[in-house]
Structure 1
Amino acid sequence: MNKILLSIFIFTFLSLGYSEIITEAKTETEIIPQNHPPSVMEEAFLRYLGETILDIMSNHNDKQLFTSSRIEKISRDIANDSYDVSLRVIGFEGPLNPPFKLIRMTIRIPGEQNTNYSVLSYSHRFISDKEFKKLSKNTVD
């Protein structure tokens, strides 16, 4: 009888422990609406990331300034206590003159091996003046 009770207890304990591990492995994702002005929190976070964004752009041979920042999506990995931040900026040369580049990147904070960040993806493409105006609407300058 004691063996049966012990077996039930162990099975129950392992089941609860296993479900807790599954719960911890969750990720939460928030998609930021792009058709509204950014929140104060988004503006503050983008300002904080400014030097990081410039560093990433420079490391990808986009030695430019940027404007029209927006966070598109943030995913939180609860188990690893990290955040994947997908954002876009528009790179420019000279005093806000063409050619304009739409630059998208996803960074993980904190990064691998105790670094401040890791770049998960990076892409860029040239955009027209018309597209620049459209993408600059509701952005952080």
Structure 2
Amino acid sequence: MKKIIIISLLLISSLAINSAFAKIDIQYFPQDQPPSVIELAFLRELGLPILETMSSYGDNQLFESARIEKIVRNRQNDYYDVSLRVISFEGAHDQPYKLINITFRIPPGESAEKYKVISNKAVISYKVKNITPEEVEKLSKFTN
């Protein structure tokens, strides 16, 4: 019985120690429901940096259907990595459509030396994929 109690106490204390040193928080945003008011407000604030980033990577298009996918908070270094996606288009919402995934680091901090900085946000990831009109419809389901 004493062994079980001692082992239990050791396990509980190790969990308490590990949680005390947690330095990263991650929040995922559900993609299968409409965006929250906070998500919409944050996306509006990121609108110009998104356009500037797309332009700096040669994607001179407009975008729609923006969604934040996740935010990672680094407590130790005091920054946030905001991962989002947009669908770019040409003209009057015409093809070619592209799915663009961007991760901004806010504030850029030391990463400013390694990454492109646009509107005081470090662009730590930029990925582009051509998509079909059917994929656009599916990805836009909860954004329009």
Scaled to the shorter chain, the TM-score interval is: 0.7 to 0.9
C-alpha distance in 2, partners of 1:34/1:98?
23
Match of 2:127 among 123, 126, 139: 123
- 1:1-141 matches, within 5 Å, as 23=20, 26-113=23-110, 116-139=120-143
Task: Give the RMSD, CA atoms, in angstroms.
Answer: 2.0
Unaligned runs of 5+ in 1: 1-19
Moved >2 Å (runs of 4+): 22-25, 112-115
SS in structure 1 opposite 2:43? helix
Unaligned runs of 5+ in 2: 1-16, 113-119
Give, in angstroms, the shift of residue 75 of structure 1.
0.4
Task: Please identify the structure whose Cα radius of gyration is greater.
Answer: 1
**CA deviation vs aligned residue, 1:47-78 (integer Å, no higher than 9, x gap):** 00000000110111101100000000000001
Kept in 2, the 8 Å contact 1:24–1:79? The answer is no
- Identical counterparts, % of pairs: 52
C-alpha distance in 1, partners of 2:82/2:74?
11
Kept in 2, the 8 Å contact 1:25–1:79? The answer is no
Give, in angstroms, the shift of residue 112 of structure 1.
3.0
> CA distance change for structure 1 residues 52 and 24 in 2, over 3 Å: closer, same or farther?
farther
C-alpha distance in 1, partners of 2:29/2:95?
27
Kept in 1, the 8 Å contact 2:111–2:122? The answer is no
The residue type equivalent to 2:140 in the other structure is S
Give, in angstroms, the shift of residue 79 of structure 1.
1.1
